[in-house]
Structure 1
Amino acid sequence: MEKTETAPKKQVNLLTRILIYIGIPIVIIYGISSFITLYNVNTSITGLTEKQLATESDAAANEIAGAFNKYLEITRQMAVNSQFEDVTAEIMPGMDPMAAPGFAKAEKSLSGVKASDPNILDAWVGDPDSNNLLLSKGFYASPDWIMVERPWYTQMMDVGGTTMTAPYVDALTSKMVVTAVSPIYRAGTKDVISATGLDFTLDSVSAMMSEYKLGETGFFILASADGQLIYHPNQEYINTNIKDSNMSDNIKDAVLTQKTGAIEYSSEGLHNHGYVAMVGNTGWTITTGLPDKEFNSAYNLIQLITFIIMLIVIVGMVLLTAFTSKKIAKPINMLAGVANKLAVGNVEVSTDGIAAISSEITELTAAFGEMADNTREQAMAAERIAAGDLMMDVIPRSDQDVLGISMADMVKSLRELIQETEMLTAAAVAGRLSVRGNTDALNGGYRDIIAGFNATLDAVIEPLNMASGYIDRIGKGEIPEKINQEAKGDFAALRNSINSCIDGLGALTEGNEVLALMSKNDLTQRIDAEYSGIYGEIAKSINTIQDSLIIVVRAVDDISNGDMKMLDGLKATGRLSENDRLIPGFIMLMENIIMLLEESDSMAKAAVAGDLNNRAHASRFPGDYAKVINGFNNTLDALTEPMQEASQVLNELAQGNLNTAMVGDYLGQNGQIKEDMNKTIAFLKQYVHEISETLEKVSNGDFNQEITANYLGDFVTIKHAINDITAHLSEILTEIGNSANQVEAGSRQISDGGQALAQGTTEHASAIQQLSASI
């Protein structure tokens, strides 16, 4: 039966395999790492941009709040001015306000308030009893004008203090105007008896908003508490309510409910990123807006550059891999051609023209050359033997040269066969017929020899084929089972050599398993088996890498727990090689962290000890560590400057200097400290001046003095004490004067009774008068 031959399966060449198994994984890994890098970069850039939006919103809100607080503070100062309280008390229902004694003085004060700021349209005081509104020039009254029904009054009462109304359009100037109003309380109570206020335009606020810049296309939006748009890049929206705009619902809700924080919204058909910030306690909001295009511009640029670099790197890596693979595959293919020629009996081959790029391929080429030379020499010897030339000597190359030894034995056997033949021939000629030779040699022995030789060849070829199959499987990356078949002589040595190779390849298998676990950060497995030669070196190198990674993991764990105990050990270990950057990098990391902790501890101890002038040395630290130290120093600067200035001002007050004040420019709570300090100094200065003036008049003999201004807190007790003292002194001196007059009158009556007594009485009365004058 004829055997059907199947077409051999087409195999992929070495160049393609290298490109597939090396190039493609590299491209995939590089692509994944680029994606992760871009994701992290996008997260960082987005976070920084959102922080910038929040900072810009808060800064603008604080500046606008400062402008509003200036007007609110003016109304508060007006509310504690006793002139306005007095004039409203003087005006009775139905009375002409201008007839009140304090009207002119109050009008002058209101004019001064109006003149203090060009944005103030008018300053006024309202009297709810007479429903009169005292202005900076004249007054306003109308039968249908009832003060307690005015929106600003009801808002003030609801708030329970100083407040600011929603903006409105002034009928005379057509400008956007806001009213700030403060209640006037009855002295020593919380009873509202009148109110002070002022109307100011938003021109300066709009000018401030127009000056704010946010990138190239960013913008700011200012809205009142009821949602009225005061400033918007679209002029058509100004003086309209945000509910009527075409902005998205989420920004409308955030403004109307005063919900602060980061926000994404649409306006004018563009998607924007922004931040909503409150303008102080006014209920007003400032919202920033940065369109998507500019918000993502930095990331888009980095993404484009990364893609270009990735494309260049991928193309370069593919070309380099292809070039290198071609350099590797070309000599191997040429060696395969040499082997194929030898396989078909062509011994006229050479490896001289094969160039190699590595020592391994060079050694392989040299081995192929020696094998070809040996095969050529043996072929020439076989030709001579085949021609009947048995006078040649076949010298084996080594003890393992099975073919050379066999050929020498064959020549020897042939020589013996010839000798046996000659002997038998001579014996026959000599008539020695009883001599018998090798019957196999005389009677078909040649055929038997050939058969035996064929059997020998079979015995040689079988182990060689088996060895070739094993080597082919090993060359394809397979590790076969050991050869368990019985073998003798040189075949046993060949079998043992292949089995030793398989044992050595076990190191690669075990190493691959350990490396696979290490790639998943599993460092629990090691190569414990003993291997010889290069395989033992591979196992040792893998275990050394694992030991280094274990040290790194322990160091990272210790650093994360704040423990730097491994620093001395790492210093003792030192650099493992010229290109070792891992150990020196961890040493530098630990040293920087230790210096950072020491510097922070030193700063904390100095601060606890009260040394607020102590600063850390940022020059000792590299990179972002220096930024951390600078952040500490800047924080201390921001905290100590207002404290030091407040200490200086308090020292001036302790020395009796009331003409001092805090003048530094501070933000947030530091600004509130400055404002409260200056307000306290102003009140102290006012109280001390009035008390000093009253006591000076009393010292000059004018006891008809009384402090009538509104005092707060413990100063109310001082005010009442001084008033009581002046009143009691006046009463006592009056009684002493009356007594002196009565004594004088009695003395005159008694003088009629006797000259001596009258004279003594007169002297007594004179002494009393002198005492009275002295008192």
Structure 2
Amino acid sequence: MINKINKSILLKVLTSLIAITVLVFTITGVIVNYYNKNVLTKNINKSLEDNATIISKDVNSFFERGGTLVTQMTTNSSIKNLMTEVKTRDDVKTNPNFTNVVKSLKSIKETDKNASSVYMVIEKASYLIDETGEDSPIDWDVNNRPWYSETLKAGNLYYTAPYKDAVSGKMVITIAYPMLDNNGKSIGAVAVDYLIDKLPEIMKQYKVGETGYTFLLDRTGTFMYHPDETKILKDKFTEYAGTPGEVGKKMIKGESNVATYTLDNSELYAAYAPIKSNGWSVGTVISKSEVEKELVKFNILLLSTYIGGLILLILALYFVTTKILKDIPKLLEIIKKVAKGDLTSKLSVNSKDEIGQIAEAINDMNSNLNNIVTNISSNSQNVSASGEELSAVISEINKQIQTINAGTQEIAAAMEETSASTEEMNSSSEIIKNSILKLNSKAKDGNNSAMEIKTRALNMKEESETSKKITLDMYKEKEIAILTAIEDGKIVEEITNMAAIIEETASKTNLLALNAAIEAARAGEHGKGFAVVADEVAKLALQSTETVHNIQNIVGQVKNAFENMSQTSGGILEFIDKKVTADYNEMINRANLSLEDANNVSELITSFTTNIEDVSNSVEQLIKSLESVSAVVEEVASGASEIAGTVHDTKVSTDEVAEVAETQADLAVTLNNIVSEFKI
């Protein structure tokens, strides 16, 4: 099939155009389908979202009606007074507000047919009053009721989870509101058991396409309504695997959005919206196949249109192309005649388009070829004669070329010997250069080491001078302090003198006390009081004497300590002044000597490095000179070799020219034979 297409212009044109058309139709179809699908998806998402919002508002209104009943009960003064005044079960029915409360509860229930039971609880009495006014069981305890504790915890209008009422057997939820006293403390609650068996009727009112449906979730994610009744109050949407479960979690969080997910092998579009009053959520779902059913129909129609258009295009292209190419066979026939050597045929085509222009060009080609063949025939004989003359001239040139070639080879041999000697010198120079470079590297390393020694010597000098300065400063400072302390220590001698005076005074006081005791003894009874005083004075004088002795001993020890400290401090000061200062000076002198030695070594290595660099430069110049000589020798040798090669090539060329001349003569004969085959 491919070979057949390659041999037919008509098939090539049709195949190319059809392929391009199919490609354009395909791209257009994909774009149209993509755009339509996006528009359709946006529309269905918007529709689902609107439906979910409308349903959520409708269901919310349903629950708000029950909430309104409970809220109104909180404003009833009889209910609040009864809760406040009753303390025990026995006080309930005897309270004047009881009758009005029962009537109010009955009246509230009659206002809404979904109100299964309307009641209030009194916390202190643990008592429940409903619209019937009957007593609650003796063992009934309000604190054991989960809905009551949850209501108090919420602190506002509270909706319980749905449950089946024990009396009516119907599904209800409890809507409750806590009651507080003037101090904000709970005193009870008012509540309504609200029937939710009407919710399915509300949900069924809304149709979502043919296969779509709505569903309702409570705060835990449990289905409260679903077309599949086996799921109601049993399945939790939040526990579904994958995307459906994620959607369920978002719903119970109170979010609203659209989503797509696969459930039970069916791809679904979904939208969801929260019910604000009790935290439930409404969802609307429709299958993807139903949404895209119209899109599939449109795509089939579009494909049918494309196929019909393609068939019409093929027919039109075949008709037009056949008409355009009708003169091609005539062109092919005349070209085949030219290929066989018939240059006498002429082509007649009435068309003025490119085909007609090709026909005229073929006629011109025939005419030109006719003229060329005629000229070739007349000139081929002249070519044969010229070839023979050229062959004789080339034979003479070859003899001269052989003589030139021998001389050139001798020159090339001499240049090769010179080049070898130059290469040896160049190699030796390179070895010397490398040795000098290594020596230069070592010299630089030595210079770096000398610089490091110089740096360390300089650092040692600076550190020694700094340490000396710090030591001398400290020496001067401590010298003054120590001398001052030694001078201050002389006050100990004053203390010794004062102690002697105190001792003398105590001795005199003791003598006076003794005299007073004698005088008191003489006085008899009148001197007893004075004798007691004299005795106490004598004791104090004795204690003073002992204390003075202790002070003198301690002062003697202190004096000895100061004398030892003075001698030791003097020795330390003398050691720092004479020995430490001298050692620092010696260390600084040695640092200066190391610095001078490092400078001398650095200068020596720098001078050595400079000399090495001069030698290195000289060697490099020598190497460059040798390289220049070597290059010249190589150029001469190369030139001689090239000359020899050129001479050899020239000989080869002349030989070839001779052969060509002979061949040319033969070709001229052959050409005459070929030209004779053309019909002109």
TM, length-normalised to structure 1: 0.44
Whichever structure has more helix as a proportion of its residues is 2
Higher relative contact order, structure no. (Cα contacts within 8 Å, ≥ 6 residues apart): 2
TM, length-normalised to structure 2: 0.50
Structure exhibiting the larger radius of gyration computed from Cα positions: 2
